[in-house]
Amino acid sequence: MIKVKSWISAARLRTLPLSVSGIIVGTSIAVKQGVFDISIFSLALATTLGLQILSNFANDYGDGVKGTDNEERVGPQRALQSGLITHKEMLGGIIITAAITLLLAVLLIYAAFGKENLVHTLLFFFLGIGAIAAAIKYTVGKFAYGYRGLGDLFVFIFFGLVAVYGSYFLYAHEWSWSILLPSISIGLLSIGVLNLNNMRDQIPDKKAGKNTLVVKLGAKKAKNYHYSLILGAMLCLVLFTVITLENMFEFLYVPFLIFLILHLKRVVENENPILLDPELKVLALSTFAVSVFFALGQLL
């Protein structure tokens, strides 16, 4: 029972709502346009959850092996750090989760394109491989990109562009440039969560040699960067709604933007990085809430 609880803790269930926000947004736009398939939706959700759990396991393993997770770390204690899961067990968990996620991705691609469109099938297959590799290589290995300040870029690509635009394309099989706006929005909010995490961990990360973008920018510039992420995300989402507006229900999510504004106010007033930890949950759940009510507005 203790092992089961340890694996559940290592999966970090609190991160899962944020990970599916892009799928919810992309799917709702597809539904509004009259293209929806329950099998694609189910497999897209499952694949995304698999990628997030894989990323969490790999992050736990990579930071644990490198010694980044130590007594100075802020936030919940990691599985390897606590000794409840061994390095070998976590590595096995990563391999199994990666294999399951790849299988789900292949099933998703087949459900979307069948045998008829080889180009799209290959494109999404390589995107799937890329997403799995990115989930693992964030902290694992000698050239882990999370230690080189590139985490923000990969989060934007896979949790923004691929999640929103990619999920829409799986249904519609066509390009639509306007959908870049909500893709950018969810991507920026997802970076915001990562940036907040890195702002909280700036001092221990710097000591451990984990050169996140926050470590490179410094505390003041990282705050300014955070403001631009959240405000840019809100602007892109509202702009998309204005451009594609058919009825006023599509503004249903707007009242929930107040949670993002209040979050920014608390970040502005913050002087102790450790106290930013609760804001991770606030920003993640606010992003999820905005995504859900954006989707409801599209459906109505």
> Tens digits of per-residue pLDDT, 201-241?
898 888 888 899 999 999 899 999 999 999 999 999 999 99
Residue percentage of the chain with pLDDT more than 70:
93
pTM beyond cutoff 0.85: yes
HEC per residue, 133-182: HHHHHCCCCCCCHHHHCCHHHHHHHHHHHHHHHHHHHHHHCCCCHHHHHH
For residue range 157-188, what is the model confidence (pLDDT) as tens digits? 999 999 999 999 999 999 999 999 999 999 99
The residues spanned by each domain of the chain are 16-299
Residue 126 pLDDT exceeds 60? yes
Classify residue 168 by burial, with Cβ atoms within 10 Å: 0-12, 13-18, 19+. buried
Residues 6+ apart with CB under 8 A from 95: none
Which range is least confidently modeled, 4-13, 34-43, 210-219, 246-255?
Answer: 4-13
Residue 65 pLDDT exceeds 80? no
More confident residue, 149 or 5: 149
Residue 2 pLDDT exceeds 60? no
User: Residue 29: what residue type?
Assistant: I
More confident residue, 3 or 29: 29
Q: In a 3-state reduction of DSSP, which class is residue 234? A: helix
Residue 82 pLDDT exceeds 70? no
- Residue 140: the pLDDT is 86
Residues 6+ apart with CB under 8 A from 96: none
CA distances from 37 to 29, 46, 77, 168, 294 (A): 13, 14, 40, 11, 19
